[in-house]
Amino acid sequence: NNQRTTCPEFAIQMQASGTGNFLWYGAPVSDSTVAEPYVNPQVTTIYYVNLTTGTCVFTDSVLVTVTVGDCEDIIPNAFSPNGDGVNDIWEIPFLGTVPNNRVRIFNRWGDEIQVIDHYDNNENAWNGTNKSGTLMPPGTYFYTIVMPARELSFSGWVHITY
């Protein structure tokens, strides 16, 4: 994906793939020689990456759009955990870089169906299941996100579709 969105308060992790030597340039990154560095732009920025494999150099760019509104505006409100490898988890763009966060998911009756501490958008992310590991049916669910280190919290809804 050559476009990402964040808000000024949060760093996000870039994602490049391949085998060889990486070099990110054009704007500051946490480590310019790794495939997945963190960036924290304050304005919309284009990041460039070179992957050198033997004598070949591959170049790509990523546009990181920084929202001027509320960070809640970039929290996705739908995903499809159907196992097809596309949108199988609920990816919250900025959350993986905030320590000690907590995401709670509720059904429409207000019952807590899932709690995820240290949400990271990878191994520790909501995949549409309840606390027992059962995949939830399509529908609208409600969430709270708490980030004590940033003294921030968000709440809203997310829709599971298949």
Look up the pTM and report it: 0.70
The total of other beta-carbon atoms located within 10 Å of residue 108's CB is 10
Collapsing DSSP to helix, strand or coil, 36 comes out as: coil
Q: What is the β-pairing status of strands 3-6 and 56-66?
A: parallel
pLDDT tens-digit readout, 32-66: 999 999 898 888 999 999 999 999 999 999 999 88
- With beta carbons less than 8 A apart as the criterion, state whether 66 and 41 touch: yes
Condensed to tens digits (0 to 9), the pLDDT of residues 4-29 reads 888 877 888 898 999 999 999 978 89
Please report, in angstroms and rounded to a whole number, the separation of the first and last CA atoms in the chain: 22
Give 77-136 pLDDT, tens digit per residue: 999 999 999 999 999 987 877 778 999 999 999 999 999 999 998 889 999 999 999 999
